Amino acid sequence: MTPTREILWNINALGPILLYSLMAIPFVFLAFGLARRVRMWRQGQPEDRFDRLGSRIWHAVVMSILHGRIVRRRNLAGGLMHLAIFVGFVTLFIGTVIVMIEADITVPLFGVSFYRGDFFLGYKLAMNLAGVLLILGALAALYRRTVRRPATLDTAGDDIVILAFLIVLSVQGFALQALRMAVTEDPWGRWSFVSYPMAVALSGLPEGWLRGIHLANWYVHFLTNFVFLSYVAYSKMIHPFTSFANVVFRRHQPRGALEPIENLEEAKVLGVGKLEDFTWAQLLNVDACMHCGRCLEYCPTFTTGKPLRPRDLVLELAGYMADRGGIFSGELGQGENSARYRWGAGPDRELIPEVVTPAELWDCTTCGACMEQCPVYIEHVPLIVGMRRNLVLERGEFPEEVTAVFTNLERLGSPYQFPPNQRAAWTKKLDQPVPEMAEVAARGEEVEVLFWVGCLGSFDARNQRTTVALARILQAAGIRFAILGKEECCTGDPARRIGNEYLAQMMAQQAVETLNTYNVKKVVTACPHCFNAIKNEFPQIGGNYEVIHHSQLIHQLLAEGRIQLDPDSALARGKVTYHDPCYLGRYNGEYDAPRAALAALPGLELREMRRNRHASFCCGGGGGRLFMEETRGTRINQARVREAMDTGAELLAAACPFCMTMFEDGIHGVGAEESFTVLDLAEIVAGSMIAPTSPAGGDARPEAATPDRQE
């Protein structure tokens, strides 16, 4: 006897008629709901996201459908839970389609049956396994939402309804199998390893009862399916469609590059002041949110109790868009989180401040932790910066502290009140002179690399020590380099992230013109913010250079043996922890070079902080926050300093002048000046460096080679 079963067993003639005549209803609901969402996205400004469509779709398949970005080591339990629900649901759906193809296409039209033999037995195993996965995944999700309730997870009635639907549908399916097998005594029933024990338990009931219950359950099951499918487009369950689309249409530009306002002088709209000012892709962005809360896990503002919660900001925008489109989007009843989609919040509200508050916008450090963690590539930072631009350029509303920053940038070319002719003052601390590009060009010479010092490295006394240390390393390695001196200006990074795009473009254009005048090919800088701007944003205006961060260059010089380290130096011993700067790590993917440079000192014991590499915790200085007072919640820099101290390290190694400034202040804020200190990587290496042999034959360590850790 060939293994198979009768399709639509015990179902009267009315069943198939109702099934197929009503099947269109849920798909019409789904199509209508999706169409209304697409119409909402099209309110946004045009943007080309259709290039390389094949690779876009393949990437979305890998990262979304195959869960490449959902099942991650740091979110393993939640990722596997979601994978179980997804695989279970999709497999059961495919199984239903297979039965329909057998019953309605291959057998009646071609007289061919494939639903038998080994295929049938494998099918039964797969369907039972899929049902188990779906039930276990849904139960785990319910437990997580109702019992564990992590701080990053928000639960509304919609979540419970969806999970209940999934469990009920699975149980109904197993019950249908069990009732049929209890009557037919299916010889292959054991292959249905979940339903078979249920069938054995039911086998003692009268056949009439079993058939009646089976028929009623069949009608209830397909009606439940139809109700669920109809609900999909009007609930959080829409996210498989919107999230997949968002991954397909993600930005292909470098993560660290913000899009400029094109033709700024003629632009009619400056920044985002209303919903229609976002691009269509950004409106899709906010509609793709899965509400998972992963963006909150390493968010410095959420962790330190500030108003900005990246997920809630996205949901505020999405709920507002849903209000504008007259769409109910996923909450049954009033939940605790007022940001969750809902009816009736008011489509006539003003985007800022009634939907998104200025406090949320100004709290952002643009660290990118939210974007790094988001499984569907939502880009929170460009959304926030777009609204900041509107506040700054259209309304003239911004924190009072940055007024001086804007004035100094416009008048002096840096955020600080120092004249440009003092940019090279730090060179007087060196034994060897540092040439400026104007002098080099006048002599008709060339240099290997331009040292872009940056504003903090030029003017801030603490960060000048890093600048001097890096210059000594370059000199010791025999690298021909020069600086711009008074011709250097800010890259525009602080102004752009604060929202003053006009000033940012002016600064960047000036910098690019200067670099191109000297035909600069290679740039080294100790500032990740300058590094990111020159590498990722200067190409937007014709500035194309090879850009290297000082940690990368130091690692290269050590690996090539061009500088030698003394393992017995004071700085080459003890416990050290390293902080990953956001604009070097998350935005530009450099995690290994600084660690490799530290590892070159065998006496140093590297102790990683709990949050490191792509999960690093921000120092609090990005996004212009270095220049703003932190008045809400716990201070971010102090939270990070405490985390560094918890490793048992005595020294915090930095690789960014913004981080250096924030940590110096943080160490003072927690009262740890006597037991804990922060040094830049260049200071550690220069302080442990064996100086080249002098012409007189003696070895001499450079003056700044032994900085005091407690200084």
Residue 584 is which amino acid? L
What does the pLDDT read at residue 707? 43
Distances (CA, A) of 224 to 134, 209, 230, 243, 435: 16, 22, 10, 25, 78
How far, in Å, CA of 393 to CA of 91, rounded?
52
Residue 4 covered by a domain: no
- Residues 380 and 443 reside in one and the same domain: no
From the CA atom positions of the chain, what is the Rg in Å? Answer: 31
Asked if 98 and 126 touch (Cβ cutoff 8 Å), the reply is no
- Residues 350 and 425 reside in one and the same domain: no
Residue 689, strand partner residues: 565
In 253-332, alpha helices (H): 280-287, 300-303, 310-325
How far, in Å, CA of 623 to CA of 607, rounded?
28
Does residue 700 surpass a pLDDT of 50?
no
- Residues 161 and 293 reside in one and the same domain: no
- Residues 173 and 79 reside in one and the same domain: yes
**Quick check: bond before 420 cis, omega within 30?**
no
Residue 559 covered by a domain: yes
Residue 21 covered by a domain: yes
Residue 182 is which amino acid? A
How far, in Å, CA of 25 to CA of 306, rounded?
45
- Residues 388 and 407 reside in one and the same domain: no
Residue 254 covered by a domain: no
Residues near 445 by beta carbon (within 8 Å), at least 6 away in sequence: none
Residue 185 covered by a domain: yes
Q: Place 306 in a pLDDT band, splitting at 50, 70 and 90.
A: very high
165-200 burial: b if 16+ Cβ within 10 Å, else e: bbbebbebbbbbbbbbbbbbebebbebbebbbebbe
Q: Are strands 564-565 and 689-690 parallel, antiparallel or unpaired?
A: antiparallel
Q: Which of 370, 394, 418 is the last residue of a domain?
A: 394
Q: Which of 394, 413, 438 is the last residue of a domain?
A: 394
- Residues 419 and 551 reside in one and the same domain: yes
- Residues 407 and 375 reside in one and the same domain: no
Looking at per-residue pLDDT, the higher value among 77 and 586 belongs to: 586
Residue 319 covered by a domain: yes
How far, in Å, CA of 381 to CA of 350, rounded?
20
Residue 606: count of CB within 10 angstroms of its CB: 15
Residues near 165 by beta carbon (within 8 Å), at least 6 away in sequence: 224, 228, 231
Q: What are 486-537's pLDDT values in tens digits?
A: 999 999 999 999 999 999 999 999 999 999 999 999 999 999 999 999 999 9
323: CATH: 1.10.1060
310-336: average pLDDT: 72
- Residues 538 and 667 reside in one and the same domain: yes
Q: What are 166-221's pLDDT values in tens digits?
A: 999 999 999 999 999 999 988 888 999 999 999 999 988 999 999 999 999 999 99
Does residue 485 surpass a pLDDT of 90?
yes
- Residues 69 and 211 reside in one and the same domain: yes
Please give the tally of structural domains in the chain.
Answer: 3
Average pLDDT of the chain to the nearest whole number: 90
Q: Place 702 in a pLDDT band, splitting at 50, 70 and 90.
A: very low
Q: What are 639-691's pLDDT values in tens digits?
A: 999 999 999 999 999 999 999 999 999 999 999 998 999 999 999 999 998 87
What does the pLDDT read at residue 328? 58
44: CATH: 1.20.950
Listed residue (296, 18, 9) closest to 153, CA to CA = 296
Residue 270 covered by a domain: no
Q: Which of 363, 394, 425 is the last residue of a domain?
A: 394
Question: What domain range includes position 125?
Answer: 14-248
- Residues 425 and 512 reside in one and the same domain: yes
- Residues 369 and 496 reside in one and the same domain: no
Listed residue (174, 188, 131) closest to 4, CA to CA = 188
pTM listed for this prediction: 0.90
Residues near 486 by beta carbon (within 8 Å), at least 6 away in sequence: 420, 421, 423, 424, 436
What does the pLDDT read at residue 151? 86
Residue 156 covered by a domain: yes
292-298: average pLDDT: 91
Residue 464: count of CB within 10 angstroms of its CB: 19
- Residues 194 and 63 reside in one and the same domain: yes
Name the residue with tokens 């890998």.
62
